[in-house]
Amino acid sequence: MRILFLGDVVGRSGRDAVIAHLPSLRERLDPDLTVVNGENAAGGFGITVKIAEEFFEAGVDVITLGNHSWDQKELVSAIDQQPRIIRPLNYPEGTPGRGFVLLQARGGRKVLVMNVMLRLFMDPLDDPFAAVDRVLRAHRLGPGNVDAILLDVHGEATSEKMIMGHFCDGRASVVVGTHTHTPTADHMILPGGTAFQSDAGMCGDYDSAIGMKKEIAMAKTIRKLPTERLSPAEGEATVCGLYVETDDRTGLAVRVEPLRLGGRLSQTFPTRG
């Protein structure tokens, strides 16, 4: 199975780049599953139903979220009607929405996509490891069960993301980090066969402060001046993500490569096996 994951989409620049590049990405990589983190897609804060529908129309299968899940208030009441938009599964019981979705990929194969938020330097949600473990125990990877499992780990600390990767090693196809908006160089297949990267990076303008206009961020940080609200940078975006191929017999990864396309970062494009 071929899996394409795109990191946090930041503002209009990121949205436009993702939608513009997805047709060629789908043609060249032919993914069976395409997942996008959309929690910063609406002006840098949350996502709207309209934007989500634009991503789905462009070929996205599942949208994951994070700590900005509820910044667009319309999603609080709408998410229960949008099963392919998932928020972190370790929100307290009774929170709208769901933290994972089981869907059918091409060829009738079953795919599980999960979203969890970590706790170091983040809002203190329920135990992310216990939450992930419950879902993995109920949906085992392998023939006759689930053909592929992807986990979006939304967190600040690289160490905590790596611990989650090792915690899921051999039980998930892909564990990929989001939230820090900076692509890491640690993409690898862990000893048990799970593809891992600490952070996929953002889909946004890198002439910025993690996607936000640098002038506003600098004034707030350096001079401690009251400023206008942070807003997304509007230059050409780099589309960042991760491409994974799995063994159909086991659901485990056999290939993992980063994606950086357009914008200011050095370019790299996966080779399809």
Does residue 229 belong to any structural domain of this protein? yes
Q: The domain that contains 134 carries what CATH number? A: 3.60.21.10
Could you tell me the CA-to-CA distances from 162 to 64, 74, 186, 245, 258 in Å, in that order?
19, 33, 10, 20, 17
Does residue 267 belong to any structural domain of this protein? no
What is the C-alpha to C-alpha distance for residues 56 and 133, in angstroms, rounded to an integer? 29
Does residue 112 belong to any structural domain of this protein? yes
For this structure, is 181 an active site residue?
no
Q: Please, are residues 199 and 179 in contact by the beta-carbon 8 Å criterion?
A: yes
Count of Cβ atoms closer than 10 Å to residue 259 Cβ: 26
Does residue 117 belong to any structural domain of this protein? yes
Does residue 269 belong to any structural domain of this protein? no
Q: How many domains does the chain have?
A: 1
The residue assigned the tokens 């396309």 is 261
* Closest to 211 measured CA to CA, from 17, 53, 56: 17
What is the C-alpha to C-alpha distance for residues 99 and 198, in angstroms, rounded to an integer? 20
Kindly name the residue from 21, 68, 179, 187 that is annotated as catalytic.
68
pLDDT tens for each residue of the chain, 273 residues long = 999 999 999 999 999 999 999 999 999 999 999 999 999 999 999 999 999 999 999 999 999 999 999 999 999 999 999 999 999 999 999 999 999 999 998 888 999 999 999 999 998 899 999 999 999 999 999 888 999 999 999 999 999 999 999 999 999 999 999 999 999 999 999 999 999 999 999 999 999 999 999 998 998 899 887 778 889 999 999 999 999 999 999 999 999 999 999 999 999 999 988
For 179, the domain range is 2-261
| 61 three-class SS | coil
Does residue 270 belong to any structural domain of this protein? no
Encoded tokens for 200: 């996929």
Does residue 126 belong to any structural domain of this protein? yes
Q: Please, are residues 218 and 25 in contact by the beta-carbon 8 Å criterion?
A: no
Does residue 266 belong to any structural domain of this protein? no
What is the C-alpha to C-alpha distance for residues 268 and 230, in angstroms, rounded to an integer? 30
